Amino acid sequence: MNKDRPHIWKTDVAASVDLYNAWFMKFAPLAFRLERVKTTKSVKHLFDITDALTKLTPAVLEANPGILPALRMSTCPPIARDRLIGLAGVNKNLVGCMESGRLPKQTPAWELNADLQRICEKLAQLLDTEMFPWLATRTLPDAVALDRTATILADRLCGAQADPIVRNAQEVRQLRRIEDWLEVRGYRKTDPYPASNHPNTMPPGTFAFRMSVRAKADLSLNIPIDVVVQPRQLRADRMPLLIEAKSAGDFTNVNKRRKEESDKMGHLIARFGRDVPFVLFLCGYFDAGYLGYEAAEGIDWVWEHRIDDFAELGL
């Protein structure tokens, strides 16, 4: 459909970049602001449970491991998770789990407490006293000062996560676009099937988001698929269309990550054969280098600015 038509790639790339940029200018600031409001609330919770960072203890971290990212942004300078691991001399798995809002299950209590104590000590030494002047004066701030500081810290957090915030908002928008396109044509949304089910058991005229599909020849790998659509006119093997939604705000990152799709395709081929109907749904900065790589791997795509091309795939 597109992988064998390199003569139109340049025109499509330009149209895709224009579409992404138009969305970014209109909606990305709103997505960032909404995330900042949510993050500000979580920062205020951090202040509540630590008495405005004056009581940072292992017990607090153990009960609230998810506050660690905000604490890392509370230091001068803000520190990355690997820098904290090195400074505190703690296990990488511990910090990784805490960043996900949980604690490792197998760590003995004494070891966990010792590691949390070291984290508290390093963070306390580095807390930004210009952002939190009450730490130096030992006078708790009033509500106005706390609100102002919470917003500043939330800005730091959101700034460090700006790309994921925009990427997540774009992913939600892309999936909604596909959903709208399918529903207008009479398709019905269903819950994702268990990975143990063969995809070809999906009823005709249905679709699901974020379905896991077992892949590799020995079925040992679960691959998440963004959108799975079973056409009303079934293929001979009853396989649904597997769609991976991709967006990008620059050309550099897509070429760094382009092997991800080919790896996924390889695992799917190992189970379903070379005719597996796997396509990309692209919006943004995907240049000829990226497109050529995917085409060489046998992967086709639908551009968001030409979403009606899905009809060529039997939908």
Same domain for 170 and 155 = no
Q: Are residues 154 and 242 in the same domain?
A: no
- Quote the domain boundaries for residue 274: 6-25+164-313
Same domain, 97 and 144: yes
For residues 268 and 278, the answer to whether their CB atoms sit within 8 Å is: yes
C-alpha to C-alpha distance for 106 and 87, rounded to whole angstroms:
23
Q: Is residue 298 part of a domain?
A: yes
What's the CATH code of the domain at 235?
3.40.1350.10
Whether 291 is covered by a domain: the verdict is yes
* pLDDT, greater one: 311 or 259: 311
Angle 268-294-181 from CA coordinates, rounded to 5°:
75
- Residue-averaged pLDDT of the chain: 89
Local confidence band at 119 (pLDDT 50, 70, 90 cut-offs): very high
- What digits encode the pLDDT tens for the residues 212-239? 888 877 778 888 999 999 999 999 999 9
Please indicate, yes or no, whether residues 98 and 210 belong to a single structural domain of this protein. Answer: no
For residue 194, the SS3 value is coil
User: What are the tens digits of pLDDT across the range 243-276?
Assistant: 999 998 888 777 777 888 888 898 999 888 888 9
87 or 218: which carries more pLDDT confidence?
A: 87
Residues 237 and 251 in one domain: yes
Cα-based angle 60, 64, 66 (whole degrees, multiple of 5) = 135
pLDDT at residue 7 tops 80: yes
Q: Is residue 1 in some structural domain?
A: no
Please count the other Cβ atoms lying within 10 Å of the Cβ belonging to residue 55.
10
* pLDDT given for residue 162 in this prediction: 66
- pLDDT at position 257 is 78
Cβ-based neighbour number of residue 256 at 10 Å: 9
Q: Which helix (H) or strand (E) holds 271?
A: helix 259-272
Sign of the CA dihedral with 36 first, then 175, 12, and 253 last: positive
SS3 for 310?
A: helix
- Identify the helix (H) or strand (E) that includes residue 303: strand 300-303
Task: Indicate the pLDDT class of residue 195, thresholds 50, 70 and 90.
Answer: confident
Domain boundary among 119, 144, 161: 161
Q: Would you say residue 43 has pLDDT above 80? A: yes
Nearest to 306 by CA among 286, 282, 288: 282
Q: pLDDT tier at 121 (50, 70, 90 boundaries)?
A: very high
Residues forming beta bridges with residue 284, ordered by sequence position: 248
Amino acid 222: pLDDT: 87
Say if CB 25 and CB 313 are below 8 A apart. Answer: no
Task: Report the range of poorest mean pLDDT among 7-16, 114-123, 151-160.
Answer: 151-160
Q: What are the angstrom distances between the C-alpha of 54 and each of 81, 110, 126, 163, 235?
A: 22, 24, 13, 32, 64
In this structure, are 139 and 210 located in the same domain? no
Which letter, b or e, does each residue of 106-125 get, where b requires 16 or more Cβ atoms within 10 Å of its Cβ? eeeeeebeebbebbbebbee
Length of the chain: 315
Do residues 156 and 130 make contact, with C-beta atoms less than 8 angstroms apart? no
Given 161, 188, 214, the domain boundary residue is: 161
pLDDT band per the 50, 70, 90 thresholds, residue 126: very high
Q: 127: which DSSP letter?
A: B
pLDDT tens track for 177-187: 999 999 999 99
